[in-house]
């Protein structure tokens, strides 16, 4: 059957289509204009960054030149360079001159070399003495300045790399001011880390800043090591252009001849445009919301039956199966309302039928479990009495018989619930019988919160667990056995722990028992015949049926150290409420 199209649906579909198309058209125009403006601003910013980096580089090397010239033209330094012997006073003077600049510029290292003293160098790093070196005439820096025939040379890799990080150097000639001849050399080594820190910076939207020497060898870089083709670089000129991924800006330093390249990522630059897309989506959502709201007000007459149907469904979802919806007008929704009312009536009848069956099923489960547990522990007591009588232990037979009498009276009370006080008295009778049976091989200790004594609980909860602890945990204990029963109130629950210091369980046995506890909680009747001799599972099934999710059980055991069962049930005080009774 073809689905009916309501007037409200058709109207909203067309209205929303118009809103979406108009906003997309406006956005396309804004996006195009914004992209061109961002590109122009990025080109300007790239040029400004290049100018800033060039100025920083020029200022840095101009500062080195000023420092070097002030030292080179110092008369005392020239006199020391001309002297053929190294006097202590001259070395101290040179040391003081170097110390002055060393303290003000720790990123530079000054080393002096005398002409015709090719095996010595003088530096603050060596103290007030001459340092022996290999003949410096064979070094790269010396060969460079000799063949260049200039006052200074810049070396981007002087071959003297060491652990201090100094590698880039400027070598200056020291000329005699009175005679036209070279008397020595000053080599200024620059700290690699200081150069990187001064020349390279992390900028927003900048993918990488690259500095290379005049031959194109890479010196420094920050981010991605990107560079432009050699033919694009121009000394003193800044060239800016675009590639598929980047906006590039290139130039050459006039003082050093180093090539600088700044690359800006288009993806990061145009991230703002992507933000604009999300803003448009947000605006569209708001517009659509108000469109739906206003349209809903305008068409409330048409949708009144639909709203009533939804309200009826909400009542049914909350559990009200008596809900009945009245149609306001006869339209397509009124047909659904009629079917809905009939469906709710049928569901209510089915629920009542299922509840009745569940009550009968629960009664049958409870009776079946109680028929299992009573014969189980009574047979154990009868075996104990027969054993004592056969050994002529009359006093013990009397004591066991008295305990058995109390236990029979407790067992023949036709009720499923009791108090912790009565349940604990039943357990004490049972423990006393077993202590006689096992001839004092174990002791029992009780740590019970007095406030819990009046708590209502399911009958035969403690005795099967205690029986399990004694018969399995302490069965092989000759002496020193112990069983401890601890009952404490924890908020709205009581916590019951039964601990023995017996044999404990192997890990695989403990895991198997935990798995059985989980499996038998859902459909207890399927496991009654299978687990009828296991008191732990018997107790677990009954408590699960009585308390549901308010009940929990935990098992702790370690082989050779003992076992502990911990159960938690709701705290229901005697006289206030009763545990569900199958006879009621």
- 122 belongs to a structural domain: yes
- Total of domains in the chain: 2
Q: How far is CA 246 from the centre of its chain?
A: 35
The DSSP symbol for 129 reads S
Whole-angstrom distance, CA of residue 427 vs CA of residue 498: 12
Write down the pLDDT at residue 128. Answer: 63
CATH of the domain at 75: 3.30.450.20
Task: List the one residue out of 541, 486, 493, 542 whose CA is nearest residue 516.
Answer: 541
- Average pLDDT for residues 456-481, to the nearest whole number? 84
Per-residue pLDDT band at 412 (split at 50, 70, 90): low
Write down the pLDDT at residue 539. Answer: 83
Of 283, 298, 313, which residue constitutes the final position of a domain?
Answer: 298
- 260 belongs to a structural domain: yes
Clarify whether residues 145 and 43 are in a common domain. yes
Q: Which helix (H) or strand (E) holds 170?
A: strand 166-175
> Residue 481 — φ and ψ, nearest 5°?
-70, 155
Clarify whether residues 133 and 33 are in a common domain. yes
Clarify whether residues 11 and 153 are in a common domain. yes
Please, are residues 135 and 119 in contact by the beta-carbon 8 Å criterion?
yes
- DSSP letter string over 364-401? HHHHHHHHHHHHHHHHHHHHHHHHHHHTT-HHHHHHHH
Is a pLDDT exceeding 50 seen at residue 360? no
- With the C-alpha atoms ordered 96, 101, 107, 113, is the resulting torsion angle positive or negative? negative
Task: List the one residue out of 438, 402, 51, 90 whose CA is nearest residue 236.
Answer: 51
CATH of the domain at 492: 3.30.565.10
Average pLDDT along the chain: 77
Q: Which residues contact 129 (CB under 8 A, 6 or more apart)?
A: 91
Reduce the DSSP state of residue 290 to 3 states and report it: helix
Residue 89: half-sphere exposure toward Cβ, Cα within 13 Å:
3
- 226 belongs to a structural domain: yes
The structure tokens listed for 286 are 């708001």
Per-residue pLDDT band at 75 (split at 50, 70, 90): confident
Please, are residues 558 and 524 in contact by the beta-carbon 8 Å criterion?
no
Write down the pLDDT at residue 222. Answer: 79
The structure tokens listed for 520 are 């038998």
Digit-coded pLDDT (tens) for 419-430: 999 889 988 888
Residue 573's DSSP bridge partners are 455
- 310 belongs to a structural domain: no
Clarify whether residues 27 and 95 are in a common domain. yes
* High-pLDDT (> 90) share of the chain, %: 6
Clarify whether residues 276 and 364 are in a common domain. no
Clarify whether residues 265 and 387 are in a common domain. no
* High-pLDDT (> 70) share of the chain, %: 80
Per-residue pLDDT band at 496 (split at 50, 70, 90): very high
Digit-coded pLDDT (tens) for 215-228: 777 777 777 777 78
Reduce the DSSP state of residue 275 to 3 states and report it: helix
246-260, 324-338, 415-429: which range is least confident on average? Answer: 324-338
The structure tokens listed for 112 are 């002096």
Whole-angstrom distance, CA of residue 232 vs CA of residue 239: 7
Per-residue pLDDT band at 568 (split at 50, 70, 90): very high
52-56, 451-455, 569-573: which range is least confident on average? Answer: 52-56
Angle, vertex CA 53, rays to CA 50 and CA 55, nearest 5: 110
Digit-coded pLDDT (tens) for 130-153: 778 888 888 888 888 888 878 888
Residue 172's DSSP bridge partners are 152, 186
Please, are residues 516 and 530 in contact by the beta-carbon 8 Å criterion?
no
47-56, 75-84, 365-374, 494-503: which range is least confident on average? Answer: 365-374
Please, are residues 57 and 63 in contact by the beta-carbon 8 Å criterion?
no
Please, are residues 553 and 566 in contact by the beta-carbon 8 Å criterion?
yes
Clarify whether residues 365 and 291 are in a common domain. no
Whole-angstrom distance, CA of residue 136 vs CA of residue 16: 83
Clarify whether residues 361 and 267 are in a common domain. no
Please, are residues 402 and 388 in contact by the beta-carbon 8 Å criterion?
no
Clarify whether residues 144 and 293 are in a common domain. yes
Whole-angstrom distance, CA of residue 532 vs CA of residue 372: 6
Of 279, 298, 317, which residue constitutes the final position of a domain?
Answer: 298
Reduce the DSSP state of residue 136 to 3 states and report it: helix
The structure tokens listed for 113 are 């070399």
- Average pLDDT for residues 506-515, to the nearest whole number? 87
Is a pLDDT exceeding 90 seen at residue 567? yes
- 11 belongs to a structural domain: yes
Residue 13: half-sphere exposure toward Cβ, Cα within 13 Å:
6
Please, are residues 302 and 7 in contact by the beta-carbon 8 Å criterion?
yes
Clarify whether residues 125 and 262 are in a common domain. yes
Q: Quickly list H helices, 391-506.
A: 394-411, 420-437, 462-468
The DSSP symbol for 151 reads S
Clarify whether residues 402 and 276 are in a common domain. no
250-264, 339-353, 559-573: which range is least confident on average? Answer: 339-353
- 499 belongs to a structural domain: yes
The torsion defined by the Cα of 74, 75, 78 and 80, in degrees rounded to 10, comes to -110
Per-residue pLDDT band at 569 (split at 50, 70, 90): very high
- Average pLDDT for residues 78-103, to the nearest whole number? 77
Clarify whether residues 549 and 434 are in a common domain. yes
Per-residue pLDDT band at 158 (split at 50, 70, 90): very low
Per-residue pLDDT band at 375 (split at 50, 70, 90): low
Length of the chain equals 584
The DSSP symbol for 524 reads G
Digit-coded pLDDT (tens) for 265-317: 877 777 766 677 777 778 777 877 777 777 666 666 566 666 777 777 777 77
Per-residue pLDDT band at 362 (split at 50, 70, 90): low
- 524 belongs to a structural domain: yes
Tokens 């800033």 -> residue = 52
For residue 461, give its domain range: 356-570
Write down the pLDDT at residue 447. Answer: 93
Supply the angle between the helices 535-547 and 332-390 in degrees, to the nearest 10: 150
- 324 belongs to a structural domain: no
Of 298, 323, 345, which residue constitutes the final position of a domain?
Answer: 298
Q: β-pairing, 442-448 with 481-490?
A: parallel
**Rg for the chain (alpha carbons), in Å?**
49
Supply the angle between the helices 300-317 and 7-72 in degrees, to the nearest 10: 80
Residue 555's DSSP bridge partners are 565
């Amino acid at each position: 059957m073809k689905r009916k199209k309501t007037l409200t649906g058709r109207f909203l579909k067309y209205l929303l289509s118009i809103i979406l198309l108009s906003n997309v058209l406006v956005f396309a125009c804004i996006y195009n204009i914004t992209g061109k403006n961002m590109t122009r601003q990025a080109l300007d910013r790239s040029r400004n960054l290049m100018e800033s980096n060039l100025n920083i580089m020029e200022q840095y090397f101009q500062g080195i030149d000023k420092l070097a010239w002030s030292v080179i033209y110092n008369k005392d330094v020239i006199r020391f360079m001309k002297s053929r012997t190294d006097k202590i006073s001259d070395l101290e003077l040179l040391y003081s001159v170097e110390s002055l600049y060393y303290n003000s510029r720790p990123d530079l290292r000054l080393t002096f070399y005398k002409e015709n003293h090719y095996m010595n160098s003088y530096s603050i790093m060596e103290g007030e003495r001459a340092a022996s070196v290999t003949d410096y005439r064979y070094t790269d820096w010396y060969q460079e300045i000799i063949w260049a025939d200039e006052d200074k040379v810049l070396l981007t890799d002087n071959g003297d790399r060491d652990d201090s990080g100094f590698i880039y150097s400027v070598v200056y000639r020291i000329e005699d001011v009175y005679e036209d001849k070279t008397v020595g050399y000053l080599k200024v080594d620059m700290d690699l880390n200081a150069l990187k820190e001064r020349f390279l910076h992390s900028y927003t939207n900048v993918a990488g800043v690259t500095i290379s020497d005049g031959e194109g060898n890479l010196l420094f870089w920050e981010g991605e090591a990107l560079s432009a083709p050699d033919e694009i670089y121009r000394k003193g000129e800044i060239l800016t252009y675009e590639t598929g991924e980047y906006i590039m800006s290139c130039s050459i330093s006039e003082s050093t001849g180093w090539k600088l390249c700044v690359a800006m990522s288009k993806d990061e630059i145009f991230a703002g445009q992507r933000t604009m897309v999300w803003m448009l989506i947000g605006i569209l959502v708001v517009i659509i919301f108000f469109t739906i709201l206003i349209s809903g007000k305008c068409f409330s007459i048409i949708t009144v039956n639909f709203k009533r149907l939804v309200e009826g469904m909400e009542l049914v979802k909350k559990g009200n199966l008596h809900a009945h919806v009245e149609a306001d007008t006869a339209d397509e929704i009124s047909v659904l309302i009629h079917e809905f009312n009939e469906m709710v009536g049928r569901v209510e009848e089915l629920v009542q039928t299922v509840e009745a069956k569940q009550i009968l099923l629960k009664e049958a489960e409870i009776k079946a479990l109680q028929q299992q547990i009573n014969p189980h522990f009574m047979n154990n007591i009868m075996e104990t009495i027969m054993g004592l009588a056969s050994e002529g232990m009359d006093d013990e037979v009397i004591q066991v018989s008295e305990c058995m009498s109390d236990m029979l009276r407790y067992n023949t009370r036709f009720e499923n619930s009791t108090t912790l006080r009565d349940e604990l008295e039943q357990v004490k009778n049972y423990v006393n019988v077993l202590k006689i049976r096992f001839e004092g091989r174990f002791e029992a200790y009780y740590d019970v919160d007095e406030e819990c004594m009046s708590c209502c609980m399911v009958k035969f909860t403690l005795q099967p667990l205690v029986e399990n602890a004694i018969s399995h945990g302490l069965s092989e204990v000759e002496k020193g056995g112990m069983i401890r029963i601890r009952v404490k109130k924890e908020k709205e629950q009581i916590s019951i722990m039964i601990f023995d210091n017996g044999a404990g369980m192997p890990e695989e046995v403990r895991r198997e028992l935990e798995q059985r506890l989980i499996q038998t909680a859902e459909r207890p009747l399927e496991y009654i015949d299978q687990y009828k001799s296991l008191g732990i599972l018997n107790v677990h099934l009954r408590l699960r049926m009585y308390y549901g999710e308010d009940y929990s059980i935990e098992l702790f055991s370690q082989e050779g150290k003992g076992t502990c069962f911990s159960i938690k049930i709701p705290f229901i005080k005697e006289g206030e409420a009763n545990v569900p009774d199958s006879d009621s």
